[in-house]
Amino acid sequence: MDITTVIGTLLGFGLVLFAMASGPGGLAIFIHVGSLMIVGGGTIAVTLMNFPLDVIKGLIKVILRTYLFKLPTPAEEIDRIIEYANLARKEGLLALEGKLKEVDDAFFAKGIQLVIDGFPAETVRDIMDLEAEWQRQRHNMGKKMLDALGSFAPAFGMIGTLVGLVQMLQNLSDPSKIGGGMATALLTTLYGAMAANMVFIPLAGKLEVRAQEEALLRELMIEGIVAVQSGEGPQLIKEKLKSFVAPAARAAMEG
């Protein structure tokens, strides 16, 4: 689980809800069904118009990824590759097959399987590069979708504001109906701003960071797996892969 995303979400909504609840009228005055329908329904509607259904189906997975998925560190991945390199050096590449059941990462498992199957190093690299590129494209689409939601929500907030103003201006002669129009006008803007700035835009940013971190790990895995297939020594592989680790963290890998 990504603890920073969880803490940020809880802290952000907690502070805003506390501020709402502590004012006159409490939280009840911030609940307006019509405003929720305009912002929520409108955002969903234009998302359906903007993206294919298959992409939309993956939206929940994209959001959950920003909360639940935690990548291993480069140092941890290097340790795993060195373990595999030592095994291959002592018992041969076919000995790696017994380790596959321990691998949770489908990308890494595919690379090791290619090595076990006897593909040459360049072929392994080409296949893994294509797989990594496909994953980058998938993450880019997820970020694009969250960015779009971040722009749709405040736009429908503005539409709701205009609807509320029209309703209010149509009923200036009846003061009892002015309040409803004002509620729609202001609350839709509030809902849209909260959805965009407290959910969609931050999650898009976190997904972009996750994609960059994952791309770095994929490059590390490809270099390590190809080195194992080529029969390079574990120490040489370790030295090569240290370039993927921040200088401040390299000292901890010594020995």
What are the sequence ranges of the domains in the chain?
36-245
* Predicted local distance difference test score (pLDDT) of residue 126: 93
The closest of 100, 123, 121 to 110, measured between CA atoms, is 100
- Report the chain's mean pLDDT, rounded to a whole number: 86
Q: Looking at residues 127-150, what average pLDDT do you find?
A: 89
Residue 250: pLDDT above 70?
A: no
CA atoms of 115 and 111, how far apart (whole Å): 6
Higher-pLDDT residue of 255 and 154 is: 154
Instruction: Please tell me the predicted confidence (pLDDT) of residue 180.
Output: 65
The whole-number pLDDT of residue 251 equals: 64
pLDDT over 60 (residue 255): no
Residue 129: predicted pLDDT? 93
Tell which residue, 76, 73, 94, has the closest CA to residue 229.
94
The predicted model gives 117-143 an average pLDDT of 89
Amino acid 31: pLDDT: 86
Is 132 a residue whose pLDDT tops 60? yes
pLDDT surpassing 80 at residue 13: yes
Mean pLDDT on 231-250: 82
User: Is residue 3 over pLDDT 90?
Assistant: no
DSSP code at position 96: G
> Poorest-confidence range of 2-6, 67-71, 131-135, 137-141?
67-71
**Measured CA angle at 135 (ends 47, 61), to 5 deg:** 45
Sign of CA dihedral 21, 23, 26, 27: negative
What pLDDT does 44 receive?
A: 92
Q: For the residues 108-136, what does the mean pLDDT come to?
A: 90
Region 223-242 average pLDDT: 88
Q: Which of 209, 192, 206, 208 is nearest to 151 (CA)?
A: 192
Cα(206)–Cα(62) distance, integer angstroms? 11
pLDDT mean over 100-104: 82
**pLDDT greater than 90 at residue 153:** yes
Q: Which residues contact 236 (CB under 8 A, 6 or more apart)?
A: 227
34-44, pLDDT tens digit by residue?
Answer: 889 999 999 99
Indicate if the pLDDT at residue 245 is higher than 70: yes
